[in-house]
Amino acid sequence: MIAVTGAAGFIGSNIVWELNRRGRDDLIVVDLAPDDTGCANLAPLRYARYLSKEAFRAWIAAPANARQLETLYHLGACSSTTETDWDYLAENNLGYTRELCLAAVNSGVRFVNASSAATYGDGSRGYSDDHARLDELEPLNLYGRSKHEFDLWARAGNLLGEIACLKYFNVYGPNEWHKGEMRSMVCKGYEQIRDRGRVRLFASDRPAYPDGGQQRDFVYVKDAVAMTLWCGEHRGANGIFNVGTGEASSWNRLIGAIFRALGREPAIEYVPMPEHLKGRYQYHTEAEMQKLRAAGYAAPMTVLEDAVAEYVTGHLVPDRHLGA
């Protein structure tokens, strides 16, 4: 069997969908107690059991249960970059992950964990996924810190030779409606165009970047899932890996792709950078992808404009979940 935590969420439900597409429904899906949001993402999908987080903790703690699994994809976490309760994050994102990691490793289960590009902080120290350079990183928020501290713990325990930790960059795609302000700008931008006919972006307060010229490594969720499942299937691909495209694209390019998908001319309004973000706003992110490529991952990345068009016309406009 395969277990997916955070299965009712964004990347988790996409993993379940892709596993279904590959003919797998012998899945244990794990999340909080089911609610309308979780049901919406998982309703069209197939799985064997739905366990709450606490029920799964108890289940996998028994070695006889854990040995029923071949792979555990751990996507479950609080992903809010504005969360300020460290005690909560330390238990939910760090303690829980350590617990699952040890249960998996001790039972010979392949463990693939969701880390985050938030661990790179402002990016001034680069985006290398070489675990020897973990000590150089300074996350800007407690969410990033919780992910970074697991990576450090895994390295200290010599576990990075047995597991894969994936640092996701700016992922966008179907099934992210429930994320509120943490949704991608493709989702939020589409809604702004639908409701107001234009999109608001932060103006630049750095001369080196034009308004809307700030850049991110935007990765389509289907590509992120392909990399995640590849790591699950290749037990020799261990350590920390970036999950991005290796190409930085501007906000203007991203928003322009949404307008083109809708057959409309771009209309962008630039608003001043908020004071609380000045000095903390990332102007450029770009995943270094050489390590994953060297490990053997060879699939091409979806061109941004093609991915945005598929997402907008296939999911946002018809308001359709994956598999529906």
Q: From CA 313, how far away is CA 151, in angstroms rounded?
A: 38
Which residues belong to the active site? 143, 179
Answer whether 65's CB lies under 8 Å from 42's CB.
no
Quickly count: other Cβ atoms within 10 Å of residue 37's Cβ.
Answer: 16
Domains of the chain: 2-172+218-246+289-297 (3.40.50.720), 174-217+247-288+298-324 (3.90.25.10)
Report the pLDDT value the prediction gives residue 34, as an integer from 0 to 100. Answer: 61
Report the pLDDT value the prediction gives residue 244, as an integer from 0 to 100. Answer: 98
Q: From CA 40, how far away is CA 75, in angstroms rounded?
A: 18
Q: At residue 147, what are phi and psi to the nearest 5 degrees?
A: -70, -40
Q: Which residues of the chain have a pLDDT value below 50?
A: none
Report the pLDDT value the prediction gives residue 233, as an integer from 0 to 100. Answer: 98
Model confidence pLDDT, tens digit, residues 25-42: 999 999 986 655 557 899
Which residues contact residue 27 at a Cβ distance below 8 angstroms, ignoring those fewer than 6 apart? 1, 2, 3, 4, 7, 16, 19, 46, 47, 48, 49
Report the pLDDT value the prediction gives residue 73, as an integer from 0 to 100. Answer: 98
